[in-house]
Structures are given as structure tokens and as C-alpha cells.
Amino acid sequence: MLSYGCPDSSNVLIQLVDDYSLEIMGSEVAAIKALSKKDFQLKAIKVEQWNHDLSPWKAPAVFGTEPFGDGAADTLKKVLTLTGEPGKEYYIGGYSLAGLFALWAVCQTDAFQGAAAASPSVWFPGFLDYMKSMPINTGKVYLSLGDRKARTRNPVMATVGDRIRETHSLLLERNVACTLEWNPGNHFKEPELRTAKAFSWLLLNGK
């Protein structure tokens, strides 16, 4: 786990990351500071097996040959050891499958005051139906998607536009403060800025 920002801040951002995310973390942290004008501490947790450690249940491969595992529950246990300090507010977030993990996490626990789901993998098989069956234990959720992401020949990935709209509507129906931002470009454009915008929105819409 790597820590960025102000260690004494009452705002604690927890992000699940891969090697590439760590390489561009400096740019993300700088963007959060510039966009939010708030102090914060960001705890970046390196994920070793991305498709396994962030997936709530097993699912077949959607691209490539690597299937999805069911390691999210174990990952959440580790994340929760970083929360619980009195006087601090915790926000969970990430990009792509880590964004999906953030949405899943707030269905499991009320430890987080908000979820930053930047370009989340809401195409994940069965996930939207799962969210509909579960409580949403947070008051704020940021959603975003690249406006070209649904333009794909992959039949599962092509559903992401409809799924993100349905997720947004569901959260609003549950009286969760939620915004959905459409970013220009495909899934791989400026992930650090998109994640920074997600966390900044939560900070600016906090107490």
C-alpha cells in the first residue's frame, strides 16, 4: 500500500490500482488537488490478480482468455483494515474493474461515505441485477464512462452504455446523490484524469 497527500487529513481516498495506475498516480493526485482544492490522503492498494481479486463472482473471459474470479470478498477484508479511524471519512474508488469493485463494496458495507466509479465495468455478468437486490450503503456515487466505449463488436462490452444509465437511475431511485459524466474518447483515454474527477466530485459533495 502506498500513501499520497496529507496523512492527517480527515478525507481518506482508497483506490485499487494496477502497475500502470501506479505509474500515473502522481498526475492523478495533482489533478485531485487542482480540481477539489481539498486536502486528502490517498491510499493506493496494489492488486496482484486484477480479474480475480476485484471480481465478486466467477465469470467467463470477455476479452482474451483470462476468466474472472471471485476474490472481491477477500480484497474487501484487506481494504476494511484501512478504515474505521474516528473523525475520518473514507471513499472507495478506482478505474474499470476497480470501479465495479467500488460499487460492489458499498453493497457490502457502510464503511464508505462515497464511491468513485470511473468507467466501471458494469457490463459484468449479473452485476446490475445484483445491485438491484442489495442495499446501497453510501450516500454519494460518481459514475463516468467514455462516450466511445460502447462502440465495440464484443457483445458483452457493447452493453456498457445501457448498463451505466440503468445504474445511474437505480442509484437516484435509492436517493443516493449520484452523477453520471460522459468523457470523450474510449476506455483507455486519460484514466488518471477520469479517476481524479471521480474522487474530486466526492470531496466537493462531502459534508
Can you list the domains of the chain with their CATH numbers? 2-204 (3.40.50.1820)
Rounded Cα gap, residues 97 and 132, in angstroms: 19
DSSP state of 85: -
Alpha carbon distances (Å) from 98 to 7, 34, 52, 153: 23, 23, 11, 23
DSSP designation for 138:
-
DSSP state of 157: G
Write out pLDDT tens, residues 12-41: 999 999 999 999 999 999 999 999 999 999
pLDDT at 51 > cutoff 70: yes
Check residue 61 and give its pLDDT.
85
